[in-house]
Chain A
């Protein structure tokens, strides 16, 4: 996890005290990947949600507290899994390198 200023999209307008946010950016080398899909899997591996990355490679989920896995799909790469822990009131920032 990196600092709050890097990675995910702006949090302006979101009441963080009620949300367990997981967000970040998908990168390949030094470039953001704008045509990736990030899937959020729960602690049993069950699919919970999926978002396409933005043009700048960013993604965000409003999860519940607990352990989650991010599975990233992008053209011509094998899926990349990253585990992450979410807590209400905090933002888990993840950089996924593919």
Chain B
């Protein structure tokens, strides 16, 4: 993958609005934003009700994913272009999720919904009703998904990148500042993790920074590109965004997203936790 293959510009999307081989999908943290207007022809996926198992804390399984997408008129050979608000936060999560189930041709709209809106491009109210298609997913690609035991074993061995805000990293906040703070788990971070807030990889308009700026950003945080990397955040969405930067734009091998993230790790008994602004010792 590369920047050219993984990203498309707002102008490219506008030029391809009537191309039937391209499926536009909006995935937003604020799941009502699609209903207020969306890019013409786009369908919506709800990161919570569509992409998470309603009972267990896990993703929908392969069969559920196939039914979900086939039912929304998406086939596994379509070009899927994802976009969303907040610097593509949840769209990047959906991108990683599509890759987890082996969808080859998936792209992000650089800058997402915000860039589209700030460019004053058209949003429409019409909700498309495409005919169902057959979607065949692959087994989960676990080379891009980290679980808790692997993450604990990575302390002092692999690169750990905590992509939350500095206040969450240090333990001063337990959630992003636009969400209520009433979590029960402990604050802090995984010892030895570097803190590179996910948002540093994006410009104010939501587009990704240049390759050189991105390389410098992670080099400054001590990322050793000769080692494997695990990115995490609070619930695995922001770290999907960083996974996208490291694995898809900068083309680093062996980068995983720990989707359990701090809400799992910070509730485990017996694991080490570091407080404050420094990475801490292994």
Using a CB–CB cutoff of 8 Å, the interface residues on chain A facing chain B are 14-15, 18-19, 35, 37, 39-40, 42, 44, 46-52, 55, 60-64, 71, 73-76, 79
> What number of residue pairs across chains A and B have CB atoms under 8 A from each other?
72
Judge whether B200 and A47 touch: CB under 8 Å.
yes
Bound state CA distance, A15 and B170, in angstroms?
24
Bound state CA distance, A71 and B114, in angstroms?
14
Judge whether B167 and A42 touch: CB under 8 Å.
yes
Bound state CA distance, A52 and B114, in angstroms?
8
Judge whether A73 and B36 touch: CB under 8 Å.
no
- With a CB–CB cut-off of 8 A, which chain A residues contact B176? 48-49
Contact flag A50-B117 (CB < 8 Å), given A55-B36, A64-B167, A64-B172? no
Chain B residue nearest to A39 (CB atoms) is B204
- CB contact between A60 and one of B85, B178, B182 (< 8 Å): that residue: B178
- With a CB–CB cut-off of 8 A, which chain A residues contact B114? 37, 52, 73
A98 to chain B, nearest CB (A): 12
Bound state CA distance, A14 and B178, in angstroms?
13
Bound state CA distance, A18 and B85, in angstroms?
28
- With a CB–CB cut-off of 8 A, which chain B residues contact A49? 165, 176-178
Judge whether B204 and A71 touch: CB under 8 Å.
yes
Bound state CA distance, A48 and B234, in angstroms?
13
Judge whether B117 and A62 touch: CB under 8 Å.
no
Bound state CA distance, A39 and B181, in angstroms?
18
Does B276 sit within 8 A of A, measured CB to CB?
A: no
Bound state CA distance, A62 and B174, in angstroms?
11
- With a CB–CB cut-off of 8 A, which chain B residues contact A35? 117
Judge whether A42 and B165 touch: CB under 8 Å.
yes
- CB contact between B177 and one of A18, A52, A55, A62 (< 8 Å): that residue: A62
